[in-house]
Structures are given as structure tokens and as C-alpha cells.
Amino acid sequence: MKATAEAPANIAFIKYWGNADANLRLPHHNTISMNLSGAKTTTTVEFVSSLDADEVFLGGSKVDGTGAERVSKVLDHIRKISGNKQRARVTTHNSFPTAAGIASSASGFAALAVAAASAAGLSLTEQELSTVARLGSGSATRSIPDGFVEWHAGSSHETSFAESLYAPEYWDIVDIITVVDADQKKVSSTLGHSLADTSLLYPARLASMKEKVESVKRALAEKDFPRFGELIEEESLNLHAIMMTSRPSVLYWSPATVRVLQALREWRQEGLLAYSTMDAGANVHVITRGEDETAVTQRLQALKGVEKTILGKPAAGAHLVK
Ligand code: ADP
């Protein structure tokens, strides 16, 4: 009745923002991502007969409120399909800043789904595990399969799942996660999602997504890095335009965020190809080719306001460790 799992965070190249069904966390369109080697969660789940409520400890501190309810939602689903009624003790640790736009919810709920299913004695398929992870966090769906991943939006719990497009070794690109603010963001992603459709720009975004998903998949298939980079940077800016024009407006950027975005443009003029993509947070994910990793990292670390960088190489998905 006890199991431990590890899961990577992932960076979305096509973002998930806004829900078709907020309870099931069903998105409006497919999304594409890459799992990250340098940012992971390790979670142990133990079902204990003497507990009368689930207990969650994140980085040594007890989690209450919404954070604990989200964990119990995943555990309730596992209890429902396994018939096991016991409550669980969940001990989890993130190797990187929590709630800062580096997808701790993705790695957190993917690791939880894998550990809880195993602790309850279930042997679920990868597809099923990705649906279970989604109940805690939409982006967690994508941290289950390996490498480069597509999440199929679907229209029900069973049909909204992720699958691997390519193994981690398929393409030598890296995500240099550029931390300019390691503090917890002031507006959670869950709240941000609920505001998406208050932006006048949101219908235009939704209308463009099908074609954008196809374009990114084509650039991935052709390993066309400049095209890929242009597409993912534009997609991320589109997402942040939605956030900024929501009611109320959500502005995640800090002065150092803008400094990084501008520097990348200058470096591209010089021929050093690196592109930005950002989730809900101030930190910038800088995507570059493996051969340029050292040069780009050195330049990023020299910029004012950059606290540190974390290297994310394409990585395997969630897996059991014990
Ligand atoms: P992020 O950009 O880090 O994904 P979100 O606002 O989307 O930020 O999600 C952060 C929330 O995810 C946290 O407040 C917490 O509720 C949850 N979370 C983070 N890490 C874990 C974990 N290891 N296990 C369970 N829940 C977690």
C-alpha cells in the first residue's frame, strides 16, 4: 500500500489556457510539450488504515486548503476505481521552485497519479495514468509519457489524454530555465484559466489553435529549429496577451523578464538562435540547440536580474522508483 514515483515538469510549446470543462480540466485544443530533465517531483503515497483524512506534506510542510483538495481529488478517483477506501499520507518534494511558472503542478500531479495507482495495487496503462494526473492539473497529463508529447483535448475524461510523439533523444534541444523570480506567483494558474474567456482576444486565439498545433508538429517532424523557435515564441506571447487583457488583467512579467526577452532578440540578430516560451509566471524558458547551450547559458547568467538557470534536457516521463 506504499509506492514512490518521480515525474518531470514539462514546458509547453503549445500552451493550455482555459478549460472546456473546469472540473475535468478538459482543454479547448491539443497542446504540445517537452519533459524536462532538471525539474522533477518525487512523491510517496501510502494508504494507511488508521487515517481519517488524506495528509499531504510538500517539501516538509503540511499542505491545506485547495492544494490538499486537489490531491484528494486524484486520490478519490484512485479509491473509486480500485475499491480501496483507505486515506493516504502523501510526501512530496520538488527539485525546483514551486508555483513559479516552472510547472510544479505538472510534475507534482503526474508523480502523484503514478505513485497512488501503484500503492492501491492498480496497474493502469500510460493513457489511463495521464487521464488520472489531469484531474489534479491539466498540464500534468503531459508529464506521464516520454520526451516530446501531445495532449489530445478529447471531450470526456477517457478521451483527454497524452501520448509521446518522440522519445527524449529524438532532438538535441534544451530548455534553459531562466529564473528571475523564484517566489510563488500571485495569481495561480487555476485562477488564470478561469479568466481566459474574459479577454476579447481569446476567441481569436482559439480560432488559430488547430493550425498552430499542426505547424509546430511539422517543425518538430522536420527538426526545423528557426521555424520551431519563431512559432513557440509567438505562441507564448499570444498566451501572455490573453493574460494581460483578461478582466481583471494578469501581468506575470517583471523587468528582468523583459530584459531576457529583449536580449534573445539581439542575440538572434547576431546569429545565436535562442527563443523564449513562458508559462504562467515571470520566469523565462529559453529554448536553444544543444550545441549553443553553454554560450546561451553564460549570456543569460550575466544579465541583470537573472537569479539562476536550471537546465532541462528532453526527459522520460513519470515512473515508479520504489
Ligand atoms: P506552477 O507554475 O508551479 O505549475 P501552478 O499555480 O500551476 O504553478 O501550480 C502550483 C500548485 O501546484 C501549488 O500551489 C500546489 O497546490 C500544487 N503542487 C505543486 N507541487 C506539488 C506537488 N509536488 N504535489 C502536489 N501538488 C503540488
CATH number of the CATH domain containing 94: 3.30.230.10
Helix and strand tally (H, E) in the chain? 8, 14
In a domain, 153, yes or no: yes
Ligand 1 centre to CA of 99 (Å) is: 5
Q: Residues 110-119: what's their mean pLDDT? A: 98
User: Tens digits of per-residue pLDDT, 128-168?
Assistant: 999 999 999 999 999 999 999 999 999 999 999 999 999 99
End position of a domain, from candidates 170, 194, 217:
170
Q: Residues 210-229: what's their mean pLDDT? A: 98
Residue 55 domain boundaries: 2-170
In a domain, 152, yes or no: yes
Q: Answer yes or no: is the C-beta of 101 below 6 A from any ligand 1 atom.
A: yes
What's the number of domains the chain is made of? 2
Q: What is the mean pLDDT of the chain?
A: 97
> What integer pLDDT is reported at residue 101 of this predicted model?
87
- Close Cβ partners of 147 (under 8 Å, ≥ 6 residues apart): 34, 35, 164, 165, 166, 167, 168, 169, 170, 314, 315, 316, 317
Over 90: is that where the pLDDT of 322 sits? no
Cell numbers for 40, please give them.
522533477
In a domain, 61, yes or no: yes
Q: Lowest mean pLDDT: which of 66-75, 96-105, 260-269?
A: 96-105
Q: Answer yes or no: is the C-beta of 108 below 6 A from any ligand 1 atom.
A: yes
For residues 283 and 306, the answer to whether their CB atoms sit within 8 Å is no
CATH number at residue 249: 3.30.70.890
Ligand 1 atom 3, closest CA: 99
Pocket test for ligand 1, best of 90, 105, 177, 184 (most atoms within 8 A of CB): 105
Ligand 1 centre to CA of 188 (Å) is: 9
Q: Whole-angstrom Cα distance, residue 74 to residue 141? A: 12
Q: Residues 4-19: what's their mean pLDDT? A: 98
> What integer pLDDT is reported at residue 179 of this predicted model?
97
Ligand 1 centre to CA of 244 (Å) is: 22
| 257 plus 181 within the same structural domain | yes
| 154 plus 200 within the same structural domain | no
Ligand 1 centre to CA of 314 (Å) is: 21
Q: Lowest mean pLDDT: which of 116-120, 219-223, 318-322?
A: 318-322
User: Tens digits of per-residue pLDDT, 237-282?
Assistant: 999 999 999 999 999 999 999 999 999 999 999 999 999 999 999 9
In a domain, 317, yes or no: no
Please list the helix, strand and coil fractions of the chain in percent, rounded to the nearest 5, in that order: 40, 25, 35
Over 90: is that where the pLDDT of 17 sits? yes
Q: Answer yes or no: is the C-beta of 39 below 6 A from any ligand 1 atom.
A: no
- Close Cβ partners of 229 (under 8 Å, ≥ 6 residues apart): 273, 274, 275, 287
Q: What is the pTM of this model?
A: 0.97
